[in-house]
């Protein structure tokens, strides 16, 4: 009987199927959920597989650890394959993180663990330590810190070190979380204080070498008392045992002591970044904006629709006529949006009257030729509304992204920015949660947004009241139209004339000709890379009024479904990172620069038309679900990532969120 095929993605992004035979299985260690077993691919390729069982794969923390492992392995593979340093690390063959039992494949490890080896000779000690410092220096150049350097993850074959345990790799400068055990995890790493530092791994390496030299563990928080008895340890590693990272030497410093010039050679050998010229293109595009419009360095433009006669009125989001609260034009609505007149004059209780008014609608009598429409009363009585339109063709993930934005806000996602929320209309909010938030969070794929047809009426799908720390309240409303409706040029899209912000959603499957996405394009006959960009972008940009060289409506471009690219630079830098609070101008600019570079390099300028057309525009990565769908469900569950980043940026452009400039940060103006 022929062995079954194993399907996986190679480091180059190609999807392949290979016959496989598995050996016996064991846990990687007593604490990790990963299971390990030997495997034979085809007739000759020996490998080891690290995988999660179906049960463990449902645990977010276990998924995150395997994701971290694959991310580090691929980053190392990309950076060092052509420069001769890959032998220092596990050699990754492939992975599949979207199957029922996600896994990663490596070539078999070399040598034996340091836990079972006694480095008696000074030459061996020197070679082990030099190899470790070279590995850590290379990781440092990639912005990575290895938190799991232990006698179990350091292997030695008598010639070279191989450093395993890549699930313990963390990005430099990200917050530490409690990790590891004494004495191999540094004191600050065990406590989870401060941010990850390459010198954390220097402590761990010193402890590993002490174990290899003496056969015993060192103290958990200081240098061993017998350090002076061991020449290499005393002369080279004394500072490595400092209790605080700031007092330890970096891996490059130690490498230069052990092998003069090695760290310099490692820096010279580091692979170049192919996106750097495209980041320069971003800088040049911004400079062109600033030259064309000197006001770009000024504050964000406040409302475009101002007139002294309109004091106390707001813009109806449907007919674009000015409207003010009228207690004689109130209605209630049932579950099917059938409206009935509401008379509050006979309600004597102020509490009841206010409660009923909050759930009421007001008939808008403006807009000749516009179908009869009603506006929620709180939308009219809580300051100038802020309307956001989601833009993108069908199936790009707009609805999933919007749903998760609302869910994150109602979970308190804007509280770090000093903002609280309340529904504009309790009945409609409850319906939105029941029909969209709850199903998506339970793992269901949402249906595509339905088209409006010839007689349909545009209306916002959800609206919230946002209150800042000073008590000021503003309604926030979202429009989410089907892609085919955004291509129309008739009166249906006139609502765009009153929209305050635009959120353009870029589908990587349609925009980026990367090999890792080919399997998705091959699975559907109507999916292909569109070099001319998203036609919905063009229609919307053309529909908006332009005064001067740029459209004066703040915008954000979101590379959605970014989980499909979570191991690709620069997406891997941002996707797992928390949205900054307080908002950092520098971080927004850095993310925008990276996403622009990725699209500029692989997708072309057509996908960047919103950036070129709009006065203020930032760029972001986000994933509404954290994984791929399979037969109408998300088998790994739903894990939104950075879905609030573009919205927070838009709120900052409108002055609702503060983004104070830091020292030396004045040039960052949130896309201006």
Which pLDDT band, with edges at 50, 70 and 90, does 336 fall under? confident
Reference 560, options 483, 600, 503, 484; nearest CA is 503
Give the pLDDT score at 663. 46
pLDDT tens-place string over residues 516-526: 999 888 877 67
Q: Cβ–Cβ contacts within 10 Å for residue 311, how many? A: 9
Residue reference for tokens 């090695």: 262
d(CA 264, CA 207): 25
Cα-to-chain-centroid distance, residue 342 = 46
- According to DSSP, the β-strands at 169-171 and 144-146 are antiparallel
Name the helix (H) or strand (E) containing 247: none
612-659, pLDDT tens digit by residue?
A: 999 999 999 999 999 888 888 888 789 999 999 999 999 999 999 987
pLDDT tens column, 141-177: 889 999 999 999 999 998 899 999 999 999 999 999 9
pLDDT at 529: 94
Q: How confident is the model at residue 381 (pLDDT cuts 50, 70, 90)?
A: very high
**Maximum Cα–Cα distance for the chain, whole Å?**
96
- Of 285, 277, 276, which Cα lies nearest the Cα of 618? 285
586-611 pLDDT per residue, tens:
999 999 999 999 999 999 999 999 99
Q: Which domains does the chain show, CATH number per domain? A: 5-106 (3.30.200), 112-269 (1.10.510.10), 316-376 (no CATH), 384-449+458-653 (3.40.50)
Average pLDDT over residues 262-279: 72
Q: Is it the case that residue 23 has pLDDT exceeding 90? A: yes
Collapsing DSSP to helix, strand or coil, 388 comes out as strand
| C-alpha–C-alpha distance, residues 564 and 457, integer Å | 35
Q: How far lies 620's CA from each of 386, 581, 593, in Å?
A: 20, 16, 9
Report the C-alpha gap between 517 and 99 in whole angstroms.
16
Residue 310 has pLDDT above 60, yes or no: no
pLDDT of 106 > 90? The answer is yes
Q: What is the rounded distance in angstroms from the CA atom of residue 379 to the CA atom of residue 463?
A: 8
For residue 671, pLDDT over 60 is answered with no
Q: What is the pLDDT of residues 528-556, one digit of tens each?
A: 999 999 999 999 999 998 888 899 999 99
- 661 confidence band (pLDDT: 50, 70, 90): low
140 token code pair: 């440092």
Residue 189 has what pLDDT? 95
> Of the given ranges (25-39, 381-395, 423-437, 556-570), which has the lowest mean pLDDT?
25-39
Given a cut of 70, is residue 31 above it in pLDDT? Answer: no
**CA dist., res. 593 & res. 619, Å (int):** 8
Q: Which pLDDT band holds residue 267 (cuts at 50, 70, 90)?
A: low
- Cβ neighbours of residue 602 under 8 Å, at least 6 residues apart? 511, 512, 513, 514
Q: What is the structure's pLDDT at 79?
A: 85
Mean pLDDT along residues 29-37 = 79
51: its two tokens:
């995988």
Is the pLDDT assigned to residue 460 strictly greater than 90? no
Residue 218 — very low, low, confident or very high, per pLDDT cuts 50/70/90? very high
User: What pLDDT is attached to residue 407?
Assistant: 97
CB 406 within 8 A of CB 398: no
Q: Looking at per-residue confidence, does 577 or 305 come out higher?
A: 577
Could you tell me what percent of the chain has a pLDDT over 90? 65
Q: What is the pTM of this model?
A: 0.89
Average pLDDT over every residue of 32-36:
87
Compute the mean pLDDT over every residue in the chain, rounded to the nearest whole number.
89
| 360 token code pair | 């009421």
Per-residue pLDDT tens digits for 421-451: 999 999 999 999 999 999 999 999 998 887 7
Q: What is the pLDDT of residue 300?
A: 46
Q: Are 642 and 585 in contact (CB under 8 A)?
A: no
Confidence of residue 669 (pLDDT cuts 50, 70, 90): low
Q: 140, 172 in Cβ contact below 8 A?
A: yes
pLDDT for position 119: 75
Give the model confidence (pLDDT) of 40-95 as tens digits. Answer: 999 999 999 999 999 998 888 898 889 999 999 999 998 887 777 878 999 999 99
What the block records as the tokens of 128 is 């082990």
**Cβ atoms of 114 and 155 closer than 8 Å:** yes
pLDDT at 525: 64
What percent of the chain shows pLDDT beyond 70? 91
CA distance 265 to 309: 70
């Amino acid at each position: 009987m022929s062995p079954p095929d194993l399907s996986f993605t190679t480091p180059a992004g190609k999807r392949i199927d290979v016959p496989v035979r598995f050996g016996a299985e064991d846990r990687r260690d007593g604490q990790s959920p990963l299971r390990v077993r030997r495997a034979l691919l085809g007739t000759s390729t020996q490998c080891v597989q690290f995988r999660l069982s179906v049960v463990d794969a449902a645990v977010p923390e276990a998924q995150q650890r395997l994701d971290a492992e694959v991310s580090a392995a691929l980053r190392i593979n990309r950076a060092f394959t052509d420069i001769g340093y890959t032998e220092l690390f596990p050699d990754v063959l492939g992975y599949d993180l979207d199957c029922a039992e996600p896994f990663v494949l490596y070539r078999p490890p070399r040598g034996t663990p340091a836990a079972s080896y006694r480095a008696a000779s000074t030459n061996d000690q020197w070679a082990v330590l030099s190899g470790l410092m070279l590995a850590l220096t290379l990781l440092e150049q990639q912005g990575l810190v290895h938190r799991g350097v232990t006698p179990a993850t350091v292997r030695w074959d008598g010639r070279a070190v191989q450093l395993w345990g890549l699930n313990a790799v963390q990005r430099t400068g990200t917050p530490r979380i409690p990790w590891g055990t004494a004495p191999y995890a540094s004191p600050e790493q065990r406590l989870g204080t401060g941010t990850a530092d390459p010198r954390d791994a220097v402590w761990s390496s010193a402890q590993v070498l002490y174990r290899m030299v003496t056969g015993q563990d060192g103290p958990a928080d200081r240098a061993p008392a017998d350090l002076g008895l061991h020449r290499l340890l005393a002369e080279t590693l004394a500072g490595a045992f400092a209790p605080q990272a700031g007092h330890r030497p970096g891996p490059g410093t130690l490498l230069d002591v052990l092998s003069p010039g090695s760290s310099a050679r490692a820096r010279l050998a580091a692979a170049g970044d192919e996106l750097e010229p495209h980041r320069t293109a971003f800088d040049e595009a911004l400079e062109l904006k600033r030259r064309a419009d000197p006001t770009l360095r000024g504050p964000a433009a406040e409302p475009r629709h101002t007139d002294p006669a309109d004091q106390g009125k707001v813009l109806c989001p449907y007919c674009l006529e000015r409207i003010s609260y009228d207690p004689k034009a109130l209605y209630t609505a049932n579950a099917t949006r059938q409206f009935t007149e509401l008379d509050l004059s006979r309600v004597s209780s102020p509490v009841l009257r206010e409660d009923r008014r909050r759930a009421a609608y007001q008939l808008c009598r403006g807009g000749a030729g516009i179908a009869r429409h009603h506006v929620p009363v709180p939308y009219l009585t809580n300051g100038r509304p802020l309307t956001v339109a989601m833009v993108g063709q069908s199936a790009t993930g707009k609805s999933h992204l919007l749903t998760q934005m609302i869910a994150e806000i109602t979970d308190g996602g804007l509280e770090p920015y000093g903002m609280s929320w309340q529904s504009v209309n309790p009945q409609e909010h409850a319906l939105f949660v029941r029909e969209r938030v709850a199903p998506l969070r339970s793992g269901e794929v949402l249906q595509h947004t339905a088209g409006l047809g010839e007689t349909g009426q545009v209306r916002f799908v959800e609206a919230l009241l946002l209150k800042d720390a000073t008590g000021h309240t503003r309604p926030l409303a979202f429009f989410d139209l089907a892609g085919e409706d955004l291509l129309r040029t008739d009166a249906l899209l006139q609502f765009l004339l009153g929209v305050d912000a635009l959120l353009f959603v870029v589908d990587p499957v349609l925009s980026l000709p990367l090999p890792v996405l080919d399997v998705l394009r091959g699975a559907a006959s109507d999916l292909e890379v569109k070099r001319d960009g998203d036609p919905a972008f063009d229609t919307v940009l053309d529909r908006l009024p332009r005064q001067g060289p740029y459209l004066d409506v703040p915008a954000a471009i979101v590379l959605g479904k970014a989980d499909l690219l979570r191991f690709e630079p620069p997406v891997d830098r941002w996707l797992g990172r928390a949205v900054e609070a307080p908002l950092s101008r520098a971080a927004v600019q850095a993310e925008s620069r990276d996403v622009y570079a990725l699209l500029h390099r692989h997708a072309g300028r057509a996908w960047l038309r919103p950036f070129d057309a709009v006065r203020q525009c930032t760029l972001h990565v986000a994933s509404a679900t954290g994984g791929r769908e399979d037969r109408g469900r998300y088998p790994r569950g739903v894990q939104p990532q950075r879905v609030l980043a573009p919205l927070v940026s838009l709120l900052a452009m409108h002055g609702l969120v503060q983004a104070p400039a830091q020292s030396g940060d004045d040039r960052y103006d949130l896309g201006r």
